[in-house]
Structure 1
């Protein structure tokens, strides 16, 4: 594919990194020559310096024969105009825009992005994506990572293993035999900083981080099997009343479990606006890192603290201080994935990286074949892909053991057309119309894609 990426910031550069490694023809556009040079020096991509919304700049980037334009600059308006120009002037088939301002996304203005108004095929909202991730973390606070697939019937869950895990040093094959009614499978583990695809003979050790795929109703049991408690957060403290914090608070207010929520915001204007907007959330004015204010928020009895301001260091410190005060789970928002090790040392349970969630959202629209969802794992080291099997897909009608999946990929679950979910086994036959969840290391993603593509004979 020939893809133009507008914006050479964190999101744009990571998408360029991902797509160029898969032999796509990628061109990055940014008005900052230093950013363009950094990306072109680091990855196998072309670069154009200039305003991404200007027709002459897009022409130099090759928009006339581009398959896709991804507008991910810092300015919503530039992203939207770039998509408009790509459509009206160059007839680019698919256009994706990152839009952050919630005013553009309000239901009252949904007609704005109709094809005959502003033709954007896919809109990505980082704030809403991050809010949804935060909500999933609260529903499974013992997990450092989580994502839903197959119409939310199946969950990917990331767990850190301690010495208290009762199934250490046990081959995964043996676990499947001992707990035959548990519909869950370990698909990957991280050891000494390296991510590995799990095989039946692998054994887990204390200190490993694992990724498992489980049916929604079996997640709690699977979590307990690996020595962790599964208790949804009933009392939550949110630090930060920005777009992300407000979105999370609104979602929690609609949650049928009706958790008790307190919000801390140091900016008086934002705090007052949040108090007027929210109905059941108690809003406190002050610094989330202040121990006295945390005590006022009763942090020691809270199930979770979510630090969601736009300052990474404040988020890390306020979450760490809340954890030290007795809060069960501490989660922080950070734009720098490099803070992962620091977060562990501070005792944080999970970090939310907006860049990773945005990249995952965009990738699902770039993948070939009948791909319905994509989730990037770690620092884009692997992907979890949900794809539908077509009649002429190479794996249709084959048993899993004969389906030619690479060793660096493993099937996590299969959704049949009748709505039932089946866990993988060597004799499981893949049928046309099935939806399959696959964990794949990055270097074999293209091979996995090919297994779901329409065969040449179809034409």
Structure 2
């Protein structure tokens, strides 16, 4: 597949890394020659320096025979024009654009993206993705990561194991015997900063971070088995009243169960705009790092603080201060992946990486076969792929035990009709089943082959 990626920042680079690693023909375009050079030096890609929306630049990038254009520059307008040029001049079959401005995303203007207007096949909104990720973290306070699959019936949850976890030093095979009715399976373990897909004989140790697939109805029981407690989030403080914080506050207001939310925003104009938009949420104007303002927001009684300003260090320090003041749970937005190892020693419970959520969203629309969802795990170390099994797929009609999956691949859950099934070696995969597969990044191409990759998806 030939793909042109416009924008060589963190998102563009990560997408290029994924796709070039899977032997796709990738060309990166950016008006910053240094970013282009970084991509061509570190990845197996071609690079073009220039403005992505210019027809001659797209032509040099190979748009005449490209299968897809991914427009992920920092400018919404450049991304939109790039898709228009790719469609009108070069007839590129599939166009994906990242758009940040909420005005472009309002539902009443959705007709804008029809093929006879602004021909964008998929619009990705980082702010909306991040807000949804934040709400998922709030819904599972004992987990550092969580994502829904199979229509919401299954959850992937990341749980950090402490010394008081009842199941440490227990082989995974024995866990299955001890909790035979629990619809859950451990698909990934991060130990000493290295992520791997475990074998049935592997044990769990204190300090491990485990990724578990579970039936949504069994989530609370799973959390308790791993030594955590589930608690309702009734009081939430959101630091940052921009697009992300505002979207979270609005979602909390719309919930049937009452959640008392307060928003802290440093910029007066943004704070006033948020106060006008929100109905039941108190908006405080000031610095979220200010102890007196945090106390005024009732941080000592808060069930969670969500720090989502556009500054990583402010988010981290605000979360630390809130925990010190007695807040039960701290979640912060972190753009820089090199800061992530600091979060655990600082007792920050969970983090959201906007780039990772955007990468996951884009990959969902890039994957071949009947792929319905993709989630990037960690720093693009692994992927969870949700896909429908085609009749032509090599895995259709076979038991999991008889399928030649790579070592770094585990089936986490299977949806057969309306029923979610916990996979075992004897489980037979049939045409029409929807499966969720955990795969280390290096094994993704083989998973796609097993799901019967074909260009007819486009």
- Residue of structure 2 in register with 1:140 after alignment: 140
**Shift, 1:23, TM fit:** 0.7
Poorly superposed stretches of 4+, deviation over 4 Å: none
Distance in 2, matches of 1:420 and 1:385, equals 19
- Residue of structure 2 in register with 1:445 after alignment: 444
1:378 is aligned to 2:378: yes
Q: Please say if residues 334 and 340 of structure 2, whose CA atoms lie closer than 8 Å, have aligned partners that are also in contact.
A: no
- Residue of structure 2 in register with 1:114 after alignment: 114
**Shift, 1:336, TM fit:** 0.6
SS of residue paired to 1:342: helix
**Shift, 1:201, TM fit:** 0.4
Listed one character per residue, the Cα deviations across residues 147-182 of structure 1 (whole Å, up to 9, x for unaligned) are 000001000000000001001111111110110011
**Shift, 1:198, TM fit:** 1.6
SS of residue paired to 1:115: coil
Listed one character per residue, the Cα deviations across residues 304-346 of structure 1 (whole Å, up to 9, x for unaligned) are 0000111111111111100111101101101111111111222
Deviates more, 1:48-57 or 1:334-343: 334-343
SS of residue paired to 2:452: coil
Listed one character per residue, the Cα deviations across residues 84-110 of structure 1 (whole Å, up to 9, x for unaligned) are 000000000100000000001101111
- Residue of structure 1 in register with 2:297 after alignment: 297
Listed one character per residue, the Cα deviations across residues 418-441 of structure 1 (whole Å, up to 9, x for unaligned) are x00000111111111000010000
- Residue of structure 2 in register with 1:198 after alignment: 198
- Residue of structure 1 in register with 2:68 after alignment: 68
Q: Please say if residues 368 and 453 of structure 2, whose CA atoms lie closer than 8 Å, have aligned partners that are also in contact.
A: no
**Shift, 1:229, TM fit:** 1.0
- Residue of structure 1 in register with 2:426 after alignment: 427
Distance in 2, matches of 1:364 and 1:8, equals 19
Distance in 1, matches of 2:261 and 2:218, equals 27
- Residue of structure 1 in register with 2:151 after alignment: 151
- Structure 1: 5+ residue stretches without partners: none
Q: Please say if residues 149 and 386 of structure 2, whose CA atoms lie closer than 8 Å, have aligned partners that are also in contact.
A: yes
Distance in 2, matches of 1:398 and 1:50, equals 50
Distance in 1, matches of 2:115 and 2:29, equals 24
SS of residue paired to 1:233: coil
Distance in 1, matches of 2:344 and 2:212, equals 21
- Residue of structure 1 in register with 2:54 after alignment: 54
TM-score for both structures, normalised by structure 1:
0.98
- Residue of structure 1 in register with 2:179 after alignment: 179
**Shift, 1:258, TM fit:** 2.3
What is the RMSD of the two structures over their aligned residues, measured on CA atoms? 1.0
- Residue of structure 2 in register with 1:247 after alignment: 247
Distance in 1, matches of 2:34 and 2:407, equals 40
Q: Please say if residues 140 and 232 of structure 1, whose CA atoms lie closer than 8 Å, have aligned partners that are also in contact.
A: no
- Residue of structure 1 in register with 2:22 after alignment: 22
Q: Please give the residue correspondences for 1:404-415 in structure 2 after superposition, counting only pairs within 5 Å.
A: 404-415=404-415
SS of residue paired to 1:391: coil
**Shift, 1:454, TM fit:** 6.2
**Shift, 1:61, TM fit:** 0.3
- Residue of structure 1 in register with 2:317 after alignment: 317
Distance in 2, matches of 1:162 and 1:363, equals 33
**Shift, 1:407, TM fit:** 1.5
1:270 is aligned to 2:270: yes
Q: Please give the residue correspondences for 1:226-375 in structure 2 after superposition, counting only pairs within 5 Å.
A: 226-375=226-375
**Shift, 1:32, TM fit:** 0.7
Listed one character per residue, the Cα deviations across residues 401-456 of structure 1 (whole Å, up to 9, x for unaligned) are 01211111000110012x00000111111111000010000111111111111699
Distance in 1, matches of 2:406 and 2:40, equals 31
Distance in 2, matches of 1:258 and 1:119, equals 41
SS of residue paired to 2:269: helix
Distance in 2, matches of 1:258 and 1:361, equals 30
Deviates more, 1:345-354 or 1:91-100: 345-354
Distance in 2, matches of 1:345 and 1:455, equals 45
Deviates more, 1:252-261 or 1:111-120: 252-261
Q: Please say if residues 161 and 209 of structure 1, whose CA atoms lie closer than 8 Å, have aligned partners that are also in contact.
A: yes
SS of residue paired to 1:345: coil
Q: Please say if residues 185 and 214 of structure 2, whose CA atoms lie closer than 8 Å, have aligned partners that are also in contact.
A: yes
Distance in 2, matches of 1:455 and 1:93, equals 15
Distance in 1, matches of 2:323 and 2:453, equals 51
TM-score for both structures, normalised by structure 2:
0.98
**Shift, 1:352, TM fit:** 0.6
Distance in 2, matches of 1:146 and 1:180, equals 23
SS of residue paired to 2:424: coil
Listed one character per residue, the Cα deviations across residues 47-104 of structure 1 (whole Å, up to 9, x for unaligned) are 0011000000000000000000000000000000000000000000100000000001
Distance in 2, matches of 1:254 and 1:117, equals 33
Q: Please say if residues 392 and 454 of structure 1, whose CA atoms lie closer than 8 Å, have aligned partners that are also in contact.
A: no
SS of residue paired to 1:174: helix
**Shift, 1:369, TM fit:** 1.2
Q: Please give the residue correspondences for 1:78-97 in structure 2 after superposition, counting only pairs within 5 Å.
A: 78-97=78-97
SS of residue paired to 1:151: helix
Q: Please say if residues 162 and 207 of structure 2, whose CA atoms lie closer than 8 Å, have aligned partners that are also in contact.
A: yes
Distance in 2, matches of 1:257 and 1:185, equals 30
Q: What count of residue pairs does the alignment treat as equivalent?
A: 455
